């Protein structure tokens, strides 16, 4: 089974409220920057989720530009639409984008490539809808071995949960090889202009908030019983103590790759 990160409306609301500030918001300005998004441009955010990257793009392109956010999941799009009306929200599949050739100046895809069953097909679609010399920028996470905090989380969940929960966690790190990622973009006819490997911080109010965020705003919500969540929390308290700040907040390092290619 391919993981596609499909969640309910309630989970999408938790995703926006908990997960976006904890993890996803920090990459959005980097995506805008690496793709050289500029005033007046037309930009597509593929697998936009609740729209954190699309919103950053809309702020940059201003009133003379336009932004489209596309996602497979209507629940994500409903939450996105509640946040901004100056962005067009479209339901669709990354592997079959409902746009004509060369329609966009920049196409962005954050934290989603690893959910696509056919990554080559999706990147080929991104390359098709961007104009010649336009930018395609993708962001993924480095391999689990390079993620000291999430390696611990993976180990705890591995001890307690069933295979379907683990499969989701494994998916997050499955596009972690930067050279393979570059080759994927090159195969789609994109000339690699810049790569960045960035050490970011996943920020949670507490260990309890980490577990709540990772479960409530993700498909794990349907794959773990309350007992299992309780057990994960009990085991996590000691393990994550080393990531607590003096103020009692949990800050875990997380390494991401960003790649930008230009259409030849
Ligand atoms: C972890 S979320 C990332 C969302 C957003 N880019 C962000 O940074 O917050 C992954 C998103 O990929 C979307 N997705 C998964 N498979 C997809 C596909 N084939 N086409 C479009 N979106 C897809 C999911 O619905 C989900 O919203």
Average confidence (pLDDT) over 174-202: 98
* Domain residue ranges in the chain: 9-144+174-203+254-263
pLDDT band at 103 (very low <50, low <70, confident <90, very high): very high
Expressed in angstroms and rounded, the spacing between residue 248 Cα and the centre of ligand 1 is 31
**Number of helical H runs and strand E runs in the chain:** 10, 7
Under a CB-based contact definition with an 8 Å cutoff, are residues 81 and 12 in contact? no
Alpha-carbon span 246 to 230, nearest angstrom:
25
Alpha-carbon span 7 to 13, nearest angstrom:
10
Query: Quick one: tokens of 134?
Result: 């336009």
> Does the pLDDT of residue 259 top 90, yes or no?
yes
Sheet order of strands, 250-263 included:
88-91, 66-71, 42-46, 104-110, 130-141, 250-263, 190-204
Average confidence (pLDDT) over 8-18: 95
- Give the residue, by CA position, lying nearest to ligand 1 atom 14: 47
Q: Verify whether ligand 1 is closer than 6 Å to residue 77 (CB atom).
A: no
User: What is the predicted pLDDT for the residue at 93?
Assistant: 98
> Does the pLDDT of residue 1 top 70, yes or no?
no
Expressed in angstroms and rounded, the spacing between residue 74 Cα and the centre of ligand 1 is 11
User: What is the predicted pLDDT for the residue at 20?
Assistant: 97
Q: Verify whether ligand 1 is closer than 6 Å to residue 24 (CB atom).
A: yes
Expressed in angstroms and rounded, the spacing between residue 234 Cα and the centre of ligand 1 is 31
Read off the DSSP letter of residue 89.
Answer: E
Expressed in angstroms and rounded, the spacing between residue 12 Cα and the centre of ligand 1 is 11
Under a CB-based contact definition with an 8 Å cutoff, are residues 88 and 71 in contact? no
Q: pLDDT by residue (tens digit) across 30-65?
A: 999 999 999 999 999 999 999 999 999 999 999 999
Query: Quick one: tokens of 248?
Result: 């009692």
Alpha-carbon span 54 to 58, nearest angstrom:
6
Ligand 1 pocket: which of 47, 118, 122 to mutate (most atoms within 8 A of CB): 47
Question: Which CATH number does 9-144+174-203+254-263 carry?
Answer: 3.40.50.150
């Amino acid at each position: 089974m391919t993981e596609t990160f499909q969640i309910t409306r309630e989970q999408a609301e938790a995703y926006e409220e908990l997960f976006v500030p904890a993890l996803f918001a920090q990459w959005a300005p980097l995506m805008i920057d690496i793709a050289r998004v500029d005033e007046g441009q037309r930009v597509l955010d593929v697998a936009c989720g609740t729209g954190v990257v699309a919103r950053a793009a809309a702020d940059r392109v201003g009133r003379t530009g336009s932004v489209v956010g596309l996602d497979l999941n209507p629940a994500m799009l409903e939450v996105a639409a509640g946040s901004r009306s100056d962005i067009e929200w479209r339901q669709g599949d990354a592997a079959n984008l409902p746009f004509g050739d060369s329609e966009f100046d920049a196409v962005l895809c954050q934290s989603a490539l690893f959910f696509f069953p056919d990554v080559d097909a999706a990147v080929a679609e991104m390359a098709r809808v961007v104009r010649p010399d336009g930018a395609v920028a993708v962001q993924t996470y480095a391999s689990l071995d390079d993620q000291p905090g999430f390696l611990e989380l993976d180990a705890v969940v591995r001890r307690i949960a069933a295979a379907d929960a683990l499969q989701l966690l494994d998916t997050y790190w499955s596009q972690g090889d930067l050279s393979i990622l570059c080759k994927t973009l090159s195969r789609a006819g994109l000339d690699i202009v810049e790569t960045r490997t960035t050490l970011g911080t996943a920020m949670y109010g507490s260990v309890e908030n980490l577990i709540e965020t990772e479960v409530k705003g993700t498909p794990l919500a349907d794959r773990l019983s309350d007992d299992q969540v309780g057990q994960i929390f009990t085991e996590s308290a000691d393990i994550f103590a080393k990531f607590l700040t003096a103020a009692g907040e949990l800050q875990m390092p997380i390494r991401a790759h960003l790649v930008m290619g230009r259409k030849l």
